[in-house]
Amino acid sequence: MSKLYLVPTPIGNLEDITLRAIRILKEVDLILAEDTRTSKPLLKHFEITTPLQSHHLYNEHEKVNLIIQELKFGRTIALISDAGTPAISDPGFLLVRECIKNDIDVETLPGATAFVPALVNSGLPCERFSFEGFLPQKKGRQTKLESLVEEPRTMIFYESPHRLIKTLNSFADYFGQERKASVSREISKMFEENRRGTLRELIDYFEQKTIKGEIVIVVQGK
């Protein structure tokens, strides 16, 4: 029976994958991976020999119809990203939408994602929050930040190491230097770090450090 599975993969520690995720990846006919070079070591570690194809931001539009046809022929396919849950700041939404349009069953497994542990670890209110992902780098950045000035919910952002200081300074300009926030990096890895404080304190701290790893910034709402 045809089905698309969205399978979360570890964001750091390989033990974060679920037993069910391993089973599904072994049972499906095909695995679609954001970057096959990144996924091959993970699959090899868990002795998963299912055929692998690339499915990333730059080819998903041209490949989506072919994948839909494969599913209509009765194949089962799993979609994975480099790390975490597919479609969360990664490819996946387009394929899921087309599956729904074509009455193809979609099943999403629970599992690793970076923003949930960062939010819970921040010490900021987490009963209501706004996940913003990556900010626009140029066009639309100012408009986005202006739209968030009055946001009452805790806000969550993804960021790269080399843009962290710039983004924290932007937050301080728009939200105020005394706004509370936290920065989480290398979540679930050996050198995981969670730093909390005001935006000014976080800027001062990270300006003195060599910053590495994927980053989640959590900012207090107004």
pLDDT at res. 91:
86
pLDDT at res. 59:
76
Given a contact cutoff of 8 angstroms between Cβ atoms, the answer to whether 92 and 123 are in contact is no
- Which sequence spans correspond to the domains of the chain? 3-108, 115-219
Alpha-carbon distance values, 43 to 9, 36, 78 (Å) = 10, 10, 13
DSSP track, 51-90:
-EEE--TTTHHHHHHHHHHHHHTT-EEEEE-SSB-TTSSS
How many Å apart are CA 159 and CA 24, to the nearest integer? 31
Homologous superfamily of domain range 3-108? Tetrapyrrole methylase, N-terminal domain (3.40.1010.10)
pLDDT at res. 194:
96
If you search the block for the tokens 């790390």, which residue do you land on? 83
Which token pair is 42? 């993970």
The per-residue pLDDT of the chain, averaged, comes to 95
Residue ranges for the chain with pLDDT beneath 50: none
Contacts of 40 (CB under 8 A, 6+ apart): 52
The hierarchical CATH code for the domain 115-219 is: 3.30.950.10
